[in-house]
Amino acid sequence: MDLIVGTAGHIDHGKTALVKALTGVDADRLPEEKKRGITIDIGFAELDLGAVRIGFVDVPGHERFVKNMLAGASGIDLVALVVAADAGVMPQTREHFEICRLLEIKSGLIVLTKTDLVDEELLELVRLEVAELVENSFLENAPVIAASARTGSGIAELKDILRDLALEIPARKNEIVSFLPIDRAFSVKGFGAVVTGTLVSGEISEAEELDVLPLGRRVRVRGLQTHGKSAKSVRAGQRAAVNLGGIEHADIERGMVLCAKDALRPAQIFDAEIEVLKDAKKGLKSRQRVRVHIGTIEALARVQVLNEANEIAPGEKDFVQLRLETFVVTIPNERFIIRSYSPQMTIAGGRVLDNSVNKHRRKDVENIRKRLKNHVEAEKQNDRAKQLKLFLETSEERGATRKDLQARTGWRDEILKKTIVENVEKKSIVEAESFYISRTPFENLKTKTLSEIENHHRREPLAKGILRETLREKIFAQLAPEIFKITLVHLEKENKIVAEKDYIRLAAHNLELSAEEELLREKLRKIYKNAKLEVPKLEDALNDSVGGTKSDKTHARKIFQLLINSGELVKISEEFYFANSEIESLTVKTREFASNTADRLIDVAKFKEIAGISRKYAIPLLEFFDREKITRRAGDKRLIL
């Protein structure tokens, strides 16, 4: 198995010497580091213990370089807290220890170094001091090894213990897409851009395409190295050097992320849960400007504390929104550290809960706290279905695509698909082609749709229904067409509505007419039936129908519309309407005529003769036939189709 071990501890306590004693590698690689004899930036070394391969990240202990320490500490599985026996617990021993605790590093060991410089009595004192420091923490029961890089005493024992601890560490979760926070970018002659970092999740393979974010550049893996050797692929928990095609090293810097393509999105705001250190001098307040260290980046940010007091007191845990001054790529549950702007001191640490949020308004804080609590709960229970639902809920009626959900969760395709299916089956989310929408907003949409149609029926009791396009504009204008479609599909399946080509009506909407309306309808029917093809003008027909009734013309017009809607009457021109049965028999007659001619041609005179009508009707009827593709103009004649 592979794992990353990070050193931690005060400057000059022998961290780099210890890594060298274990691996033979001097992790101080910069010329300035060699000259000054101190570690400035993170350094790397490997140790092969057979069943266990360890990548060491050696961090600087100097107060001024905590930023670099943090870039290294974010990816480690196990910490070696180094305390020099001749010096004891010092400020950065504490700070580094607190950082590891806040980053929720699960496992570790304590190495008391420089034991060659002290006697048993002094060593015992340091043991006590260290025990006090780590009391009630993840290191409380960690092995304590006395060692000397100078004499080599304790080094063999240290290797054995590292191997044992490594085998106890649970494998990294395999749910998140490939994610490598970049700690270095340089160029190798003949190869081009190379980046290094700890692969915190997923797998990277040769020839694979990846994204460099937040830069937004697509790159190709030309070659890979881990433990100083070429490899076809690297896994989570390994350090990797990745040779990239399609980019210059100068475009890349520490803090960027190399990750699965088209999976994650940079953002400037995220919601988080944080813990303020007990020893912090002051609480963390809203509007405070801080330094957020996440992955390998340091970003300046403003805090919005999501509680009544607008402050988190030392030793307390609470929810915050962080508004960053730069774009970062994060995944849920990713740990980070907060340091004060000036003087720079570690004051808090936490984890990302939601990486894609808008600025919260104060009045919404109560609801947001509820949602974030649910996120914490779901994470604790490892309940992915619930997590997905929580993310989707914030998309409300807009819904989200699978890609949107991947950017929110960071999950690999298989995990995401599986979780979506689970939720769809549970009916907690609804699938709309490439969109997903949470159940509650979907039900709201259905209700809104029904009441819109109902209102329309109330306004236009005799109309067929609401125009599909009108309904879409009223309720779905800002939403994807898929959402509109699926809403209608569901309402139809539930027998709530009837959707025709252009019109939508409530299933319960049938046109019941009063006795008086029935009378009007009968009169109109009779007028057109008796008229055959010599129909009256619309206005005359309407006047005629209301004669002798209490109805007025507007009322007649509505009933008239009803006959059109049902298809009984057909509009030929603005003033002429015909009974559909008359038009149908005329069509038959016209086609019969055609079948008895050689050329299927007819002129106006012949048409008048067949139909037995005057020019007044013949012209609009022929034009209607043209529109209906029963005839087509051919010079001054018409071809019967």
Kindly list the residues in this chain that would bind ligand GDP in the complex (CB under 6 A).
11-17, 38-39, 61, 113-114, 116-117, 148-150
Q: Which two tokens stand for residue 596?
A: 């008895």
Closest contact distance (angstroms) between CB of 18 and ligand GDP is 7
Kindly give the pairing relationship between strand 233-235 and strand 203-205: antiparallel
State which residue has the least CB distance to Mg ion: 39
Give the Å distances, CA to CA, from 109 to 8, 97, 106, 134, 161.
Answer: 10, 11, 11, 11, 9
Smaller CB separation from ligand GDP, 91 or 481: 91
With binding defined as CB under 5 A, does residue 16 bind Mg ion? yes
Minimum CB distance to Mg ion, residue 338 (Å) = 25
Of residues 114 and 505, the one with the C-beta less far from ligand GDP: 114
Residue 284 contact, options Mg ion, ligand GDP, none, Cβ 5-8 Å cut-off depending on partner type = none
Pairing of strands 179-188, 497-499: unpaired
Q: Which is nearer to ligand GDP, 159 or 606 (CB)?
A: 159
Q: Which residue, 155 or 499, has its beta carbon nearer to Mg ion?
A: 155
Which of Mg ion, ligand GDP, none sits in contact with 150, Cβ below 5 to 8 A by type? ligand GDP
**Least CB distance to Mg ion at residue 292 (A):** 25
Minimum CB separation from ligand GDP for residue 17, in Å? 3
Determine the interface stretch with Mg ion among 13-21, 394-402, 428-436, 489-497 (rule: CB under 5 A). 13-21
Applying CB under 5 A, the span of 38-46, 116-124, 400-408, 627-635 interacting with Mg ion comes to 38-46
d(CA 474, CA 14): 71
Q: Rounded to the nearest whole angstrom, what is the least distance from the CB of residue 18 to Mg ion in the complex?
A: 9
The one of ligand GDP, Mg ion, none whose footprint includes residue 148, by CB under 5 to 8 A per kind, is: ligand GDP
DSSP SS3 for 611: helix
Q: Which is nearer to Mg ion, 16 or 590 (by Cβ)?
A: 16
Q: Which is nearer to ligand GDP, 43 or 237 (CB)?
A: 43
Structure tokens, 247: 């980019």
The reply to whether 39 sits near Mg ion by the rule CB under 5 A is yes
DSSP H/E element including 565: helix 553-565
* Residue 505 interacting partner from Mg ion, ligand GDP, none (CB closer than 5 to 8 Å by kind): none
Write down the least CB distance from residue 84 to Mg ion, Å. 12
Q: Which stretch binds Mg ion (CB under 5 A): 16-24, 447-455, 510-518, 522-530?
A: 16-24
- Separation between Cα atoms, residue 638 and residue 423, nearest integer Å: 61
Q: What phi and psi values does residue 81 have, to the nearest 5 degrees?
A: -85, 115
Name 285's Cβ contacts closer than 8 Å, sequence gap at least 6. 303, 305, 310, 311
Nearer to ligand GDP, 9 or 255 (CB): 9
DSSP letters for 30-88: SHHHHHHTS--S-EEEEEE-SS-EEEEEE---SGGGHHHHHHHHTT-SEEEEEEETTT-
Closest approach, Cβ 152 to Mg ion, in A, equals: 18
Distance CA 457, CA 449 (A): 13
Non-local (6+) Cβ contacts of 519 within 8 A are 549
Q: Which does 116 bind (CB under 5 to 8 A by kind): Mg ion, ligand GDP, none?
A: ligand GDP
In this structure, are strands 335-340 and 346-354 parallel, antiparallel, or unpaired? antiparallel
Shortest gap between Cβ of 88 and ligand GDP (angstroms)?
Answer: 14
Percent of the chain as helix, strand, coil, to the nearest 5: 40, 30, 35
Integer Rg of the chain from CA: 39
As measured in angstroms, the least distance from the Cβ of 380 to ligand GDP is 37
DSSP 292: E
Q: Pick between residue 58 and residue 77 the one whose CB is nearest to Mg ion.
A: 58
Q: Where along the sequence are the contacts to Mg ion (CB under 5 A)?
A: 15-16, 39
